[in-house]
Chain A
Amino acid sequence: MSTPAIPFKYMPSPLFTDPYADAWTVPFWEATMREQLTAPKCTNCGKFRLPPSRWCAQCHMQDLEYVDLPGTGTLYSFIIVRHALTPDQKDYVPYIPAVVDADGAPGCRFVSNIVDVEPEDVKVGMPVKVVWNRVSETLTLPFWTAA
């Protein structure tokens, strides 16, 4: 996948420039720089967990490994923000926050946005794929679009 030269349609406002990460989450952000979607998995019991919390709720161990995902999934739910909550949002509505069930990581949902799809065409259950938004030299964000 190549990095698009122009921003995606229906992107949310760019409110940030740097990832805020710790030892548990750095591998995810490093992989995004290579445009690779990953998900954290408990090295002890194998349970995926998002966000990559510091404890596994199933076995109470802390260690994680990040596994590569195919970057496809199913749209679990979404909303269409049509009303700008704050003045700085005015040029960015509508935008489409979304929850995605990612293939290859059962029990994990990515919270992101649907881009490049007309709002009226977005449906729960539709197949989606990840697209990459290179925000800065240090931050690349996954968005999702119709597969």
Chain B
Amino acid sequence: MKDKAAIVGIGQTERYRRGASLPKSMMDMAIEATLKALDDAGLTVNDLDGFAFYGGAPADPGSMAYLLGVPHVKFAATLTAGGSGAAGSVGMAAAVINAGLANVCVSLFVLQQVPTGRFGGSSEGPRRLPSAGGGGAYGGSTNVSPEAAFVSPASIMSPGHNFSMLTQRHMYQYGTKREHFAEVCISQRNNAMKRPQSVRQTPLTLEDYFAARMISDPLCLFDYTMEDDGAIAVITTSVDRARDLPHPPVLISGSGIGGTGNNAHLLGNFQMPDLSFASAGARDVAKQMYAMAEVGPQDVDVALLYDHFSPMVLMQLEDFQFCPVGESGPFVAEGNIRYGTGSIPVNTHGGNLSDFYCPGMTHIVEGVEQIRGTAINQVEGAEIALVTGGPSSIPMTGTILKKDR
């Protein structure tokens, strides 16, 4: 499927702080983003025939097809797990198009974090033996398995707690420091500050970082992604069709959608092998993706790495081979991820942390804009962009986007 499909349209709703999108419904926003993405692509609902989602979107393709009046739905599926599937959703779209199952696919995410439905939020209220990893898409059912009883009593209540556990081990094994997490947060905030559409524009200094309250030591407030409402959609079609559409095609050159069984419970029970405990669980996926695209990390011009928690950006720099395992701390301290001066600019849009939290979709959009050459923090001559999904359960995903011809 290498270079045989392309992203041709992007569409976004207004960006809201958590809860501020009411009284719109999630479906309102999903439809709005889809219509805008089709319009950007120069296509209509009559062309749309595929739904390639992740994390449940969470929007039902059947309802969307009904509300939009899609004449023929030829494919509809969602990748399992949560934000980890973001980058893989367009990889799935490319595979589906290449296989001839559908011609034009939409991938999207919609978020409305009203207090009862926070994506990746904590498990709330009294309960018996809650499942590990907290609520929302991470499995916050109160009907837990007997296996979960071996984790639940520890009161590890949210994804932030889980990733803090991985982070502490990374600090122990490799000497990684909070200054290194701060560099991720600050470099991304600097990128967001140049973009009028980014939600978080306040300057962030090292002093601010260390003054912030600790949430789950070693992670503080700024290490956590913040919460927003909104929807973002992208449209993928065959490269032949893409070349007749208004924007330059953004080729889907390679994609990895998976992981390894012994790392599959990254987010739940902490039984990963010692050598991959303090990782993003993406080493396998990275190899598959690079092999398919026939490129390596040295060829990547800009890396859009899913940042639900800042240390996971460090661990992805290792997993996606921008630096050796264990050396991401010094790597970022040397300024390597800075836009304009670094060897591999990371999250030039500001990421989940500072641009906008729509679990991973902004990374895809930034990748598309970088390859189109229209990004605000444009990497000069960018021809290859890496987009990743968020470290969590299988599938971990990564996708290589490439300039056409």
With beta carbons under 8 angstroms apart, the residue of B123, B150, B156 that contacts A97 is B156
Are B217 and A79 touching (Cβ within 8 A)? yes
Are B146 and A50 touching (Cβ within 8 A)? no
A121 interface hit (Cβ, 8 Å): no
Assuming A22-B146, A78-B168, A112-B153, is B128 touching A83 (CB within 8 A)?
no
Are B270 and A111 touching (Cβ within 8 A)? yes
Distance in angstroms between the alpha carbons of A138 and B262 in the assembled complex: 33
Q: How many residues of A contact B (CB 8 A)?
A: 47
23 A-B pairs with CB atoms under 8 Å apart are A18-B129, A19-B129, A21-B146, A21-B149, A25-B149, A28-B150, A50-B269, A51-B146, A76-B169, A77-B165, A77-B169, A77-B270, A77-B277, A85-B158, A86-B122, A86-B123, A88-B126, A89-B157, A97-B155, A97-B156, A111-B150, A111-B269, A113-B153
New A-B contacts (5) at CB < 8 Å, excluding given A17-B128, A18-B128, A83-B213:
A20-B144, A51-B150, A86-B157, A107-B271, A111-B151
Of residues 76 through 106 on chain A, the ones whose CB sits less than 8 Å from some CB of chain B are 76-83, 85-86, 88-89, 92, 94-95, 97-99
Are B155 and A113 touching (Cβ within 8 A)? yes
User: Chain B residues in contact with chain A, CB under 8 A?
Assistant: 122-130, 132, 144-158, 161, 164-166, 168-169, 172, 213-219, 261-262, 269-271, 277
Are B269 and A16 touching (Cβ within 8 A)? no
Are A20 and B156 touching (Cβ within 8 A)? no
Q: What is the chain A residue whose CB lies nearest that of B151?
A: A111
Residues of B within 8 A of A86 (CB): 122-125, 157
A12 interface hit (Cβ, 8 Å): yes
Residues of B within 8 A of A80 (CB): 214, 216-217
CB distance from B125 to the nearest CB of A (A): 7
Pick the most buried of A52, A57, A97, A125: most chain B CB atoms within 10 A of its CB.
A97
Q: What is the chain A residue whose CB lies nearest that of B171?
A: A124
Are A82 and B217 touching (Cβ within 8 A)? yes
Are A50 and B154 touching (Cβ within 8 A)? no
Q: What is the chain B residue whose CB lies nearest that of A99?
A: B270
Residues of B within 8 A of A125 (CB): 172
Are A25 and B147 touching (Cβ within 8 A)? yes
Residues of A within 8 A of B124 (CB): 85-86
Distance in angstroms between the alpha carbons of A99 and B330 in the assembled complex: 27
Distance in angstroms between the alpha carbons of A68 and B152 in the assembled complex: 22
Assuming A86-B124, A95-B155, A111-B269, is B150 touching A50 (CB within 8 A)?
yes
Pick the most buried of A77, A98, A113: most chain B CB atoms within 10 A of its CB.
A77
A43 interface hit (Cβ, 8 Å): no
Are B149 and A124 touching (Cβ within 8 A)? no
A53 interface hit (Cβ, 8 Å): yes
Distance in angstroms between the alpha carbons of A113 and B152 in the assembled complex: 11
Distance in angstroms between the alpha carbons of A15 and B23 in the assembled complex: 34
Pick the most buried of A12, A13, A53, A111: most chain B CB atoms within 10 A of its CB.
A111
Q: What is the chain A residue whose CB lies nearest that of B144?
A: A20
Distance in angstroms between the alpha carbons of A82 and B217 in the assembled complex: 7
Are B122 and A19 touching (Cβ within 8 A)? no
Of residues 26 through 68 on chain A, the ones whose CB sits less than 8 Å from some CB of chain B are 28, 50-53, 57
Distance in angstroms between the alpha carbons of A12 and B152 in the assembled complex: 11
A119 interface hit (Cβ, 8 Å): yes
Assuming A20-B144, A77-B172, is B213 touching A111 (CB within 8 A)?
no
Are A51 and B216 touching (Cβ within 8 A)? no
Are A57 and B128 touching (Cβ within 8 A)? no
Assuming A21-B146, A124-B169, is B153 touching A85 (CB within 8 A)?
no
Are A119 and B168 touching (Cβ within 8 A)? no
Distance in angstroms between the alpha carbons of A112 and B144 in the assembled complex: 17
Are B147 and A51 touching (Cβ within 8 A)? yes
Are B129 and A16 touching (Cβ within 8 A)? yes
Are B132 and A20 touching (Cβ within 8 A)? no
Residues of A within 8 A of B147 (CB): 25, 51-53
Q: What is the chain B residue whose CB lies nearest that of A24?
A: B146
Are B127 and A16 touching (Cβ within 8 A)? yes
With beta carbons under 8 angstroms apart, the residue of A20, A88, A97 that contacts B129 is A20
CB distance from B29 to the nearest CB of A (A): 27
Residues of A within 8 A of B146 (CB): 20-22, 24-25, 51-52
Distance in angstroms between the alpha carbons of A113 and B161 in the assembled complex: 13
Residues of B within 8 A of A28 (CB): 150
CB distance from A106 to the nearest CB of B (A): 11
